[in-house]
C-alpha cells in the first residue's frame, strides 16, 4: 500500500496582496510596506500595493459642462466639435473590473503608460480625456487595459538585462497574450456601437485613437494608418458642417479652447502628419490645398503664454506644410486630381491655379514659421532658467520640431544634396537640444520609451542622413542608440540601422574628409515593417556630370 501511495504537493492559498511590480515580474513578494524589500534589493522601482477594498466603493461622479456660447457667436468647426466632448469626469479605482489583472494593467496605464504616450509635451489626452471616458464606455476600458498590458510586456522584455532574450520574451508572453484578449473584447464592443459612427464623434474619435495606438504599439503600420485616417475622416466630416465658421485668427481659437480641447486637436493634427508621411494616404473628398483652406492661420499671438499654446498653433499651422509637401511631391501628376469639373477648360484653369498655389505655398509657410518663432522665443528663453522642468523639456521638443520641419521643407525643392551643408548650425542645435532633453528626462534613463507621437527620432534621423559632417552625424546616431525609443512609427533602432548603412555608403566615396555630390544619397521612399523589424529603402543619387537624380535599387535592412 505504501508503494502505491503518491505524495501530494502541499496546497496553500496564494497571496494576492503582493506589490504590483512583483506581480508583473511573477516573483514572490515579501510584502514589506511601503515598498517591498525584494524590489529594493533588485534595483526595481516598487509600484506599491493594490487596495482591493476601494474597488467596492461607489460614488456619484460629477460632470462639469462648459457653458454654451452666446446666440450671436459663430464657432469654428474645431471649436464646435470640442463642445461635444466630455470635460471633467475624474478617473479612479471605482471602475468595474472583471478581474484583478484588469485592475493591475489599468493601474499601469494610469500611473506610467499615459505619461509616456504624452511624451515631453504637456497633454491631457492620455492621462485625462481617455481615462475619463473609461467610466462611460466599456470598449475604452478594455482598450486601455490592453495598452497597459502591452506596456508591461515591453518593460519586462527590455529591462531584463541579466536574462537572455528568449527568457525575456517568455516573461513578456503572458502580458502580450492578455493584451490581445482585451483588445479583441474592445473591438467587439466597438463594432456594436450605433451606426453611422459619424453620429457619435466623441466615441468614434476615441475608438480611432485607441486602436491606432494599439496597432502602432504592436508594429502593424497598415492597420494603424487605416484607423488614423478613419479618425481624420470624422473630423473632415464635421469640418464640412460649417465652413463659414473657419477663422484664420489663432488668437481667438486659443482663447476659447480648454487645455483638453487643444490637446485633442493637436493629437489629430499630428496623426494627419503621420498618415501623410508613412502612408501616402490622402483624405477623400478634396484635393490638396483646397480653396476652402486658403486661410493659413496667419494671426498669431505676439508671444505665447504656455508651451501648450505654442504647440497648438504649430500643429494647426503645420497642417499646411504637409498639404504643401504632399502636393509638391506629386506636382508632376496634378492633372490626375479630381476637381469636380466636367468641362476641360474649367479643369485646366483649376490645374493652373493649383500649380501656382503650390509654388507660392512655401513662401506662406516660411512667413508663418517666422511669426511662430518670434512668438515662441520669449517663452523658450524663460524655460532656460528651469532646466529639467516640464516646460523646459516641452520647449526643447518644440524647438526641435521647428528646426527639423524647416530642414524638411527647405530641402524638398533642391536637386543637389550639397545644399544641406548650409544648415550645419541647425544640425548642431538639434543635437544639443536632443541631448539636453534625453539627459534631463527621468524616464529616458529607465527603459525604452514608447510615445504616441514625437519628433525627436525623426529629427535626429534627418541630421544623420542629411548632414555630411562626420562628427555631427555620428553624434546623432549615438543619441539614437543610447536612448532607445519609439515615437509613433519612428523606431530609434530602425533609424540607427538605416542611418548607419546610409553613412557608410556615402563615406565610402569620401575625398579628404568631404563627401562629394556624386557620392551623396537621398532617401526617396521607405517601406517600414515594424513587426518584422525590417525596412525597404529606396535612394537616389546624382551621377557624375549629370543634372538629374537617378533612383537606385531597393535595399532591405533589418535590425
For 354-480, strand residue ranges (E) read: 449-451
DSSP 193: S
Q: How many CB atoms lie within 10 A of CB 236?
A: 16
- Report how far residue 277's alpha carbon sits from residue 324's, in angstroms, rounded to the nearest whole number: 12
Q: Chain-centre distance of CA 45, in angstroms?
A: 26
| Prior bond of 196 cis (ω within 30°) | yes
- Structure-block grid coordinates of residue 238: 464635421
Q: How confident is the model at residue 170 (pLDDT cuts 50, 70, 90)?
A: confident
**527 within domain boundaries:** no
- Tens of pLDDT, residue by residue over 135-145, are 888 999 999 99
Helices (H), 441-533: 456-466, 470-482, 492-507
**84 within domain boundaries:** yes
**Domain hosting residue 136, numbered range:** 50-245
> Residues 447, 158: contact at Cβ < 8 Å?
yes
- Structure-block grid coordinates of residue 341: 469639373
- Tens of pLDDT, residue by residue over 246-265, are 445 566 666 666 777 778 88
**375 within domain boundaries:** no
What is the DSSP track for 88-102? B----TTS--SSHHH
pLDDT reported for residue 265 = 80
* Average pLDDT of every residue of the chain: 78
- Report how far residue 374's alpha carbon sits from residue 368's, in angstroms, rounded to the nearest whole number: 10
DSSP 84: T
pLDDT reported for residue 197 = 54
- Report how far residue 124's alpha carbon sits from residue 152's, in angstroms, rounded to the nearest whole number: 22
Task: Choose among 73, 61, 41: nearest CA to 136.
Answer: 61
- Structure-block grid coordinates of residue 105: 494593467
SS (H, E, C) 324-353: HHHHHHCHHHHHHCCCCCCCHHHHHHHHHH
Q: Which residues contact 1 (CB under 8 A, 6 or more apart)?
A: none
> Residues 201, 84: contact at Cβ < 8 Å?
yes
- Report how far residue 298's alpha carbon sits from residue 375's, in angstroms, rounded to the nearest whole number: 12
- Report how far residue 217's alpha carbon sits from residue 246's, in angstroms, rounded to the nearest whole number: 35
**92 within domain boundaries:** yes
- Tens of pLDDT, residue by residue over 31-49, are 877 778 777 777 677 777 7
CA dist list (Å): 17 to 29, 175, 213: 9, 19, 31
Which range is most confident: 64-78, 286-300, 401-415? 401-415
> What are residue 534's phi and psi, to 5 degrees?
-145, 155
- Report how far residue 452's alpha carbon sits from residue 212's, in angstroms, rounded to the nearest whole number: 9
CA angle 429, 515, 480 (to 5 degrees): 40
Inform me whether the pLDDT recorded for 55 exceeds 50. Answer: no
Regarding predicted confidence, which is higher, 421 or 294?
Answer: 421
pLDDT reported for residue 339 = 45
Q: How confident is the model at residue 85 (pLDDT cuts 50, 70, 90)?
A: very low
pLDDT reported for residue 345 = 65
SS3 content of the chain, % helix, strand, coil (to 5): 60, 5, 30
**272 within domain boundaries:** no
**170 within domain boundaries:** yes
- Structure-block grid coordinates of residue 325: 509637401
Query: How deeply is 288 buried, as exposed, middle or buried, from its count of CB atoms within 10 A (0-12, 13-18, 19+)?
Result: buried
Which range is most confident: 55-59, 245-249, 353-357, 439-443? 439-443
- Tens of pLDDT, residue by residue over 191-235, are 887 765 545 677 888 899 999 999 999 999 999 999 999 888 887
Inform me whether the pLDDT recorded for 291 exceeds 50. Answer: no
Region of poorest pLDDT, from 75-79, 459-463, 465-469: 75-79
> Residues 188, 211: contact at Cβ < 8 Å?
no
> Residues 19, 46: contact at Cβ < 8 Å?
yes
**147 within domain boundaries:** yes
Give me the residue label for grid cell 493601474.
107
- What H or E segment, with its residue span, contains residue 273? helix 259-278
**166 within domain boundaries:** yes
- Tens of pLDDT, residue by residue over 412-449, are 667 889 999 999 999 999 999 999 999 998 766 556 78
The domain total for the chain is 1
Amino acid at each position: 500500500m505504501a508503494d502505491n501511495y503518491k505524495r501530494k504537493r502541499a496546497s496553500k492559498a496564494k497571496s494576492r496582496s503582493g506589490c504590483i511590480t512583483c506581480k508583473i515580474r511573477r516573483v514572490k513578494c515579501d510584502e514589506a510596506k511601503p515598498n517591498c524589500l525584494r524590489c529594493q534589493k533588485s534595483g526595481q522601482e516598487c509600484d506599491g500595493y493594490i487596495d482591493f477594498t476601494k474597488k467596492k466603493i461607489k460614488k456619484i461622479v460629477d460632470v462639469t459642462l462648459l457653458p454654451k456660447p452666446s446666440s450671436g457667436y459663430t464657432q469654428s468647426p474645431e471649436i464646435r466639435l470640442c463642445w461635444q466632448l466630455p470635460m471633467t469626469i475624474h478617473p479612479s479605482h471605482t471602475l468595474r473590473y472583471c478581474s484583478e489583472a484588469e485592475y493591475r494593467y489599468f493601474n499601469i496605464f494610469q500611473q506610467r503608460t499615459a505619461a509616456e504616450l504624452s511624451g515631453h509635451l504637456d497633454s491631457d489626452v492620455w492621462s485625462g480625456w481617455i481615462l475619463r471616458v473609461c467610466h462611460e464606455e466599456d470598449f475604452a476600458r478594455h482598450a486601455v487595459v490592453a495598452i497597459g498590458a502591452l506596456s508591461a510586456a515591453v518593460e519586462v522584455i527590455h529591462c531584463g538585462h541579466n536574462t537572455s532574450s528568449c527568457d525575456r520574451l517568455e516573461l513578456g508572453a503572458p502580458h502580450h497574450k492578455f493584451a490581445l484578449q482585451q483588445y479583441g473584447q474592445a473591438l467587439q464592443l466597438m463594432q456594436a456601437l450605433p451606426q453611422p459612427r459619424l453620429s457619435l464623434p466623441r466615441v468614434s474619435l476615441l475608438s480611432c485613437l485607441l486602436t491606432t495606438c494599439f496597432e502602432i504599439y504592436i508594429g502593424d503600420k497598415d492597420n494603424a494608418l487605416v484607423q488614423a485616417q478613419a479618425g481624420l475622416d470624422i473630423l473632415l466630416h464635421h469640418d464640412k458642417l460649417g465652413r463659414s465658421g473657419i477663422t484664420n485668427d489663432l488668437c481667438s481659437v486659443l482663447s476659447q479652447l480648454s487645455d483638453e480641447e487643444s490637446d485633442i486637436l493637436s493629437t489629430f493634427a499630428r496623426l494627419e502628419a503621420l498618415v501623410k508621411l508613412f502612408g501616402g494616404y490622402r483624405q477623400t473628398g478634396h484635393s490638396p490645398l483646397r480653396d476652402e483652406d486658403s486661410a493659413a492661420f496667419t494671426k498669431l499671438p505676439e508671444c505665447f503664454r504656455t508651451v501648450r499654446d505654442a504647440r497648438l498653433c504649430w500643429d494647426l499651422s503645420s497642417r499646411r506644410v504637409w498639404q504643401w509637401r504632399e502636393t509638391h511631391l506629386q506636382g508632376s501628376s496634378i492633372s490626375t486630381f479630381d476637381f469636380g469639373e466636367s468641362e476641360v477648360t474649367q479643369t485646366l484653369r483649376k490645374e493652373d491655379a493649383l500649380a501656382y498655389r503650390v509654388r507660392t505655398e512655401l513662401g506662406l509657410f516660411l512667413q508663418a514659421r517666422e511669426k511662430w518663432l518670434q512668438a515662441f522665443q520669449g517663452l523658450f528663453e524663460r524655460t532656460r532658467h528651469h532646466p529639467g522642468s516640464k516646460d523646459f523639456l516641452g520647449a526643447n521638443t518644440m524647438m526641435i520640431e521647428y528646426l527639423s520641419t524647416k530642414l524638411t521643407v527647405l530641402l524638398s525643392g533642391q536637386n543637389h544634396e550639397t545644399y544641406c551643408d548650409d544648415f550645419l548650425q541647425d544640425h548642431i542645435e538639434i543635437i544639443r537640444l536632443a541631448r539636453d532633453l534625453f539627459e534631463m528626462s527621468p524616464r529616458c534613463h529607465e527603459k525604452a520609451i514608447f510615445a504616441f507621437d514625437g519628433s525627436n527620432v525623426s529629427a535626429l534621423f534627418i541630421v544623420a542622413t542629411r548632414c555630411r559632417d562626420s562628427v555631427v552625424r555620428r553624434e546623432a546616431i549615438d543619441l539614437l542608440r543610447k536612448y532607445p525609443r519609439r515615437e509613433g512609427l519612428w523606431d530609434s533602432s530602425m533609424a540607427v540601422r538605416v542611418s548607419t548603412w546610409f553613412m557608410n555608403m556615402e563615406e565610402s566615396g569620401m575625398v579628404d574628409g568631404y563627401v562629394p555630390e556624386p557620392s551623396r544619397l537621398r532617401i526617396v521612399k521607405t517601406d517600414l515593417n515594424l513587426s518584422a523589424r525590417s525596412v525597404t529603402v529606396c535612394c537616389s543619387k546624382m551621377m557624375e556630370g549629370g543634372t538629374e537624380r537617378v533612383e537606385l535599387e531597393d535595399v532591405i535592412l533589418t535590425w
